[in-house]
Chain A
Amino acid sequence: NAGVTQTPKFRVLKTGQSMTLLCAQDMNHEYMYWYRQDPGMGLRLIHYSVGEGTTAKGEVPDGYNVSRLKKQNFLLGLESAAPSQTSVYFCASSYRGASAKNIQYFGAGTRLSVL
Protein backbone atom coordinates (compact mmCIF):
# COMPACT_ATOMS: atom_id res chain seq x y z
CA ASN A 1 0.00 0.00 0.00
CA ALA A 2 1.78 3.12 -1.24
CA GLY A 3 -0.56 5.75 0.27
CA VAL A 4 1.04 9.19 -0.09
CA THR A 5 4.42 9.29 -1.82
CA GLN A 6 6.71 12.32 -1.89
CA THR A 7 9.74 12.84 -4.10
CA PRO A 8 12.50 13.71 -3.55
CA LYS A 9 13.22 12.83 0.07
CA PHE A 10 16.15 15.23 0.40
CA ARG A 11 17.34 18.20 -1.60
CA VAL A 12 19.92 20.95 -1.22
CA LEU A 13 19.43 24.12 -3.23
CA LYS A 14 21.35 27.32 -3.66
CA THR A 15 19.58 30.61 -3.12
CA GLY A 16 17.69 31.58 -6.26
CA GLN A 17 17.41 28.08 -7.70
CA SER A 18 14.04 26.57 -8.48
CA MET A 19 12.63 23.15 -7.86
CA THR A 20 9.40 21.15 -7.78
CA LEU A 21 8.30 18.72 -5.12
CA LEU A 22 5.98 15.97 -6.24
CA CYS A 23 3.24 14.36 -4.18
CA ALA A 24 1.30 11.36 -5.41
CA GLN A 25 -1.55 9.52 -3.71
CA ASP A 26 -3.25 6.30 -4.71
CA MET A 27 -6.28 6.48 -2.39
CA ASN A 28 -8.51 8.44 -4.79
CA HIS A 29 -8.67 11.33 -2.33
CA GLU A 30 -10.24 14.58 -3.45
CA TYR A 31 -8.29 16.87 -1.13
CA MET A 32 -4.53 17.34 -1.08
CA TYR A 33 -2.32 19.60 1.03
CA TRP A 34 1.21 20.91 1.36
CA TYR A 35 2.59 21.76 4.80
CA ARG A 36 5.93 22.91 6.07
CA GLN A 37 7.36 21.94 9.44
CA ASP A 38 9.98 24.05 11.17
CA PRO A 39 11.79 23.29 14.44
CA GLY A 40 9.65 23.96 17.50
CA MET A 41 6.56 24.61 15.43
CA GLY A 42 3.62 22.61 14.30
CA LEU A 43 2.80 22.05 10.68
CA ARG A 44 1.70 25.11 8.74
CA LEU A 45 -0.47 24.87 5.66
CA ILE A 46 1.10 26.30 2.49
CA HIS A 47 -1.48 25.52 -0.20
CA TYR A 48 -4.22 22.99 -0.61
CA SER A 49 -6.48 21.62 -3.32
CA VAL A 50 -10.07 20.45 -3.12
CA GLY A 51 -10.05 18.82 -6.51
CA GLU A 52 -8.34 18.44 -9.85
CA GLY A 53 -7.60 21.81 -11.39
CA THR A 54 -8.30 23.81 -8.21
CA THR A 55 -5.88 25.20 -5.63
CA ALA A 56 -6.11 27.63 -2.74
CA LYS A 57 -3.76 29.46 -0.40
CA GLY A 58 -3.14 28.31 3.12
CA GLU A 59 -1.49 30.04 6.03
CA VAL A 60 2.00 30.59 4.52
CA PRO A 61 1.70 30.64 0.69
CA ASP A 62 4.27 33.31 -0.20
CA GLY A 63 7.17 32.08 -2.32
CA TYR A 64 5.39 28.88 -3.38
CA ASN A 65 3.18 27.84 -6.26
CA VAL A 66 1.17 24.67 -6.72
CA SER A 67 -0.61 22.77 -9.43
CA ARG A 68 -3.06 19.88 -9.49
CA LEU A 69 -3.38 18.78 -13.08
CA LYS A 70 -4.28 15.22 -12.14
CA LYS A 71 -6.36 14.08 -9.18
CA GLN A 72 -3.61 11.88 -7.83
CA ASN A 73 -0.78 14.42 -8.04
CA PHE A 74 -0.10 17.70 -6.27
CA LEU A 75 3.05 19.66 -7.13
CA LEU A 76 4.73 22.29 -4.99
CA GLY A 77 7.07 24.70 -6.74
CA LEU A 78 9.70 27.08 -5.47
CA GLU A 79 10.54 29.56 -8.23
CA SER A 80 13.45 31.27 -6.47
CA ALA A 81 14.47 29.49 -3.31
CA ALA A 82 15.41 31.47 -0.21
CA PRO A 83 17.15 30.31 3.00
CA SER A 84 13.87 30.96 4.86
CA GLN A 85 12.38 28.09 2.88
CA THR A 86 14.72 25.59 4.52
CA SER A 87 12.25 23.23 6.13
CA VAL A 88 10.67 19.80 6.05
CA TYR A 89 7.75 19.65 3.63
CA PHE A 90 4.88 17.25 4.08
CA CYS A 91 2.15 16.38 1.66
CA ALA A 92 -1.17 15.00 2.87
CA SER A 93 -4.45 13.88 1.34
CA SER A 94 -7.97 13.20 2.52
CA TYR A 95 -11.46 12.42 1.32
CA ARG A 96 -13.98 15.20 0.99
CA GLY A 97 -16.67 15.66 3.58
CA ALA A 98 -17.42 15.28 7.24
CA SER A 99 -17.25 11.52 7.52
CA ALA A 100 -16.23 10.27 10.92
CA LYS A 101 -13.39 8.37 9.31
CA ASN A 102 -12.11 11.33 7.34
CA ILE A 103 -8.52 11.99 8.31
CA GLN A 104 -5.48 13.37 6.57
CA TYR A 105 -2.85 10.85 5.50
CA PHE A 106 0.69 12.13 5.33
CA GLY A 107 3.68 11.37 3.16
CA ALA A 108 7.16 10.72 4.53
CA GLY A 109 8.35 14.29 4.00
CA THR A 110 10.96 16.13 1.94
CA ARG A 111 13.88 17.68 3.78
CA LEU A 112 14.95 20.82 1.90
CA SER A 113 17.99 22.96 2.65
CA VAL A 114 18.54 26.27 0.89
CA LEU A 115 22.08 27.60 1.17
Chain B
Amino acid sequence: ELKVEQNPLFLSMQEGKNYTIYCNYSTTSDRLYWYRQDPGKSLESLFVLLSNGAVKQEGRLMASLDTKARLSTLHITAAVHDLSATYFCAVDPTGTASKLTFGTGTRLQVTL
Protein backbone atom coordinates (compact mmCIF):
# COMPACT_ATOMS: atom_id res chain seq x y z
CA GLU B 1 0.00 0.00 0.00
CA LEU B 2 1.37 3.38 -1.03
CA LYS B 3 1.87 5.76 1.89
CA VAL B 4 2.51 9.47 1.49
CA GLU B 5 3.62 11.39 4.56
CA GLN B 6 4.03 15.11 4.89
CA ASN B 7 5.74 17.01 7.63
CA PRO B 8 5.17 19.15 9.38
CA LEU B 9 1.39 18.86 9.56
CA PHE B 10 1.11 22.41 10.79
CA LEU B 11 3.52 25.26 10.31
CA SER B 12 3.28 28.72 11.75
CA MET B 13 5.90 31.08 10.43
CA GLN B 14 6.57 34.77 10.40
CA GLU B 15 6.55 36.84 7.28
CA GLY B 16 9.97 37.05 5.71
CA LYS B 17 11.15 33.68 7.00
CA ASN B 18 12.14 30.62 4.97
CA TYR B 19 10.94 27.08 5.54
CA THR B 20 10.64 23.69 3.85
CA ILE B 21 7.76 21.22 3.74
CA TYR B 22 8.69 17.57 3.21
CA CYS B 23 6.80 14.86 1.36
CA ASN B 24 7.98 11.25 1.72
CA TYR B 25 6.40 8.37 -0.15
CA SER B 26 6.78 4.62 0.10
CA THR B 27 6.84 3.31 -3.46
CA THR B 28 8.55 4.07 -6.73
CA SER B 29 7.09 7.01 -8.57
CA ASP B 30 8.51 9.39 -11.17
CA ARG B 31 5.67 11.88 -10.95
CA LEU B 32 4.59 14.03 -8.04
CA TYR B 33 2.17 16.93 -7.71
CA TRP B 34 1.85 19.81 -5.29
CA TYR B 35 -1.55 21.38 -4.69
CA ARG B 36 -2.70 24.33 -2.65
CA GLN B 37 -6.05 24.54 -0.86
CA ASP B 38 -7.41 27.71 0.70
CA PRO B 39 -9.91 27.26 3.55
CA GLY B 40 -13.27 26.13 2.22
CA LYS B 41 -11.99 26.10 -1.34
CA SER B 42 -10.99 23.57 -3.93
CA LEU B 43 -7.49 22.34 -4.74
CA GLU B 44 -5.32 24.33 -7.11
CA SER B 45 -2.41 22.75 -8.92
CA LEU B 46 0.97 24.33 -8.12
CA PHE B 47 3.63 22.07 -9.58
CA VAL B 48 4.06 18.87 -11.54
CA LEU B 49 7.43 17.17 -11.02
CA LEU B 50 8.11 14.60 -13.70
CA SER B 51 11.51 13.09 -13.07
CA ASN B 52 14.36 12.67 -10.65
CA GLY B 53 16.05 15.97 -9.94
CA ALA B 54 13.15 18.04 -11.26
CA VAL B 55 12.91 21.53 -9.80
CA LYS B 56 10.09 23.97 -10.39
CA GLN B 57 9.75 27.51 -9.08
CA GLU B 58 6.87 29.94 -8.99
CA GLY B 59 7.27 33.13 -7.03
CA ARG B 60 8.28 32.35 -3.47
CA LEU B 61 7.67 28.60 -3.84
CA MET B 62 10.14 26.07 -5.16
CA ALA B 63 9.49 22.34 -5.41
CA SER B 64 11.98 19.56 -6.02
CA LEU B 65 11.86 15.79 -6.46
CA ASP B 66 14.38 13.11 -5.51
CA THR B 67 12.92 9.81 -6.72
CA LYS B 68 15.78 7.75 -5.31
CA ALA B 69 15.13 9.07 -1.81
CA ARG B 70 11.35 9.08 -2.49
CA LEU B 71 11.26 12.64 -1.26
CA SER B 72 9.86 15.90 -2.51
CA THR B 73 10.31 19.27 -0.87
CA LEU B 74 8.37 22.51 -1.11
CA HIS B 75 10.56 25.42 -0.10
CA ILE B 76 9.08 28.75 0.91
CA THR B 77 11.27 31.81 0.58
CA ALA B 78 10.53 35.03 2.47
CA ALA B 79 6.98 34.00 3.34
CA VAL B 80 4.09 36.43 2.94
CA HIS B 81 0.60 36.23 4.44
CA ASP B 82 -0.95 35.33 1.07
CA LEU B 83 0.84 31.99 1.19
CA SER B 84 -1.28 30.89 4.15
CA ALA B 85 -3.09 27.74 2.98
CA THR B 86 -2.91 23.97 3.17
CA TYR B 87 -0.41 22.34 0.85
CA PHE B 88 -0.78 18.77 -0.36
CA CYS B 89 1.63 16.57 -2.23
CA ALA B 90 0.23 13.73 -4.31
CA VAL B 91 2.08 10.77 -5.77
CA ASP B 92 1.24 9.29 -9.15
CA PRO B 93 2.79 5.82 -9.43
CA THR B 94 1.05 5.10 -12.75
CA GLY B 95 2.48 8.18 -14.44
CA THR B 96 -0.86 9.04 -16.01
CA ALA B 97 -2.32 11.50 -13.48
CA SER B 98 -4.83 8.86 -12.44
CA LYS B 99 -5.23 7.28 -9.01
CA LEU B 100 -3.28 9.89 -7.09
CA THR B 101 -2.42 9.19 -3.47
CA PHE B 102 -2.42 12.36 -1.40
CA GLY B 103 -0.42 13.26 1.66
CA THR B 104 -2.20 14.44 4.79
CA GLY B 105 -1.46 18.08 4.01
CA THR B 106 0.56 20.81 5.69
CA ARG B 107 -1.39 23.74 7.03
CA LEU B 108 0.75 26.84 6.67
CA GLN B 109 -0.02 29.94 8.65
CA VAL B 110 2.06 33.03 7.93
CA THR B 111 1.87 35.67 10.61
CA LEU B 112 2.85 39.31 10.54
Interface residues of A (CB under 8 A from B): 31, 33, 40-45, 48, 50, 58-59, 90, 92, 94-98, 100-109
Contacts and interface: CB of A to CB of B under 8 A. Distances in A.
B102 A106 contact: no
24 contacts: A31-B97, A31-B98, A40-B104, A43-B43, A43-B90, A45-B99, A45-B100, A48-B98, A48-B99, A94-B97, A97-B96, A98-B96, A98-B97, A101-B48, A103-B33, A103-B45, A103-B48, A103-B97, A104-B33, A104-B45, A104-B97, A105-B45, A108-B42, A109-B42
Lowest 7 CB-CB distances: which A-B pairs, in order? Answer: A42-B102, A102-B97, A106-B43, A43-B102, A106-B42, A94-B97, A103-B45
A45 B42 CA distance: 15
Interface of B: 4, 9, 33, 41-45, 48, 50, 88, 90, 95-105
A41 B104 contact: yes
Interface of B is mostly: loop
Contacts of B95: 98
B48 A90 contact: no
A64 to B, nearest CB: 16
A95 B96 CA distance: 9
Contacts of B104: 40-42
